[in-house]
Amino acid sequence: MNWKFWKKQSDKLEFWTEYPPLSDPSLSYLWPQPASKLFPEWIKDVPKEQPLPEQFRKNIFEKTFPTIKKCPVFAETLVQGVIIPLWQDYKILINEDLSYHWEGRVKHHSLKIDVHPNPQYINFLPQHERDRLATTLKFVCPWHIKTPPGWSCYQMPLYYHFQDWSVLLGSIRTDTHHEINTQVAFPKSLIGKEILIPRGTPWAWYVPYKRQTLGLEHIEYDPIMSQASWYSSISKFYDGYTTSGKKDRKDTKKG
């Protein structure tokens, strides 16, 4: 066993695969990618500003308003972490009795799909969710990731890609546990339908974070707090959200 690998310290998110053919550089588009490289297509087409309808204008100078492209929620969130593209084509059929069948171009233990039985998760959900969801399948992921000591990864669904299925939200201590198998919930609307998911589909989102607990403290409001926030994002550093977004993308490329 290569103990040096487990003992070495790194400030990067490292990844490898148990399925050697995936290490072929010609398939690098199927490797974990910085999230900034897999923006949803619809967001790419959103302009930074839109004309402001006349009935909403407060003065004659107010002619445009910013879109989500200038919103910090999008600017900072969508560049965090890595996205793992689906590693091969899958064809899935969920039957009325919730049994399932799947086919993939490659049959390998690190590429299989297992059931995540409903008594483990779905049966405990509120009734309206039990009425909506059929089953949860576990996609065994050929990729493993390793973070520095004290760092974990959030496993998140790709909210802005609007897929019919959804990866379950979770957290993995990727400094010691490197498997990232994804649990995916499928709705009842897909029962009896052939589900085709092509390789390269943005699949699961992993965002590293340092495990630490911050205290919670209530402090009294002072108007200068709002003034300082406004000044840093709009005044001296015009379009501060865009500037911080650029810094996030730069930091993402580094790591």
Q: Are 136 and 199 members of one domain? A: yes
- Same domain, yes or no: 72 and 91: no
| Least confident stretch, 61-65, 100-104, 183-187 | 61-65
- The Cβ of residue 3 has, within 10 Å, a number of other Cβ atoms equal to 7
Domain that holds residue 90: 3-14+81-210
> Residue 219: inside a domain, yes or no?
no
Chain centroid to Cα 179, Å, comes to: 16
Asked if residue 59 and residue 142 are part of one domain, the reply reads no
Co-location of 187 and 230 in the same domain? no
Pair (201, 173) in one structural domain: yes
Residue 28 lies in a domain: no
In a shared domain, residues 179 and 61? no
The answer to whether residue 113 sits within a structural domain is yes
**Domain annotation covers residue 108:** yes
Instruction: Identify the weakest region by mean pLDDT among 70-74, 110-114, 215-219, 231-235.
Output: 231-235
How far is 71 from 244, CA to CA, in rounded Å?
11
Query: In this predicted model, what pLDDT tens digit does every residue of 47-80 receive, in sequence order?
Result: 988 888 888 787 777 788 888 888 877 778 888 9
Name residue 187's beta-bridge partners.
133
Q: What pLDDT is recorded for position 109?
A: 87
The mean pLDDT value for 202-225 works out to 92
How far out from the chain centre does Cα 12 lie? 18
Dist. CA 61–CA 43, nearest whole Å: 28
Q: Is the CB of residue 201 less than 8 Å from the CB of residue 86?
A: yes
Torsion of CA 64, 69, 72, 74, to 10 degrees: 150
Confidence band of 229 (pLDDT split at 50, 70, 90) = low
Judgement on whether residues 127 and 183 belong to the same structural domain of the protein: yes
Asked whether residue 175 falls in the same domain as residue 240, the answer is: no
Same domain, 190 and 228: no
In terms of domains, do 45 and 130 share one? no
3-state helix, strand, coil in the chain (%, to 5): 30, 30, 40
Place of tokens 């308003």: 65
Amino acid identity of residue 228, one-letter, is A
Is residue 117 in a domain? yes
Question: What integer pLDDT is reported at residue 243 of this predicted model?
Answer: 53
Mean pLDDT of 33-50: 88
Residues 90 and 206 in one domain: yes
Number of structural domains found in the chain? 2
Q: Are residues 124 and 188 in the same domain?
A: yes
Closest listed residue to residue 187, CA positions, set 134, 224, 144: 134
**Single-letter residue type at 120:** Q
CATH number of the domain where residue 186 is located = 2.70.40
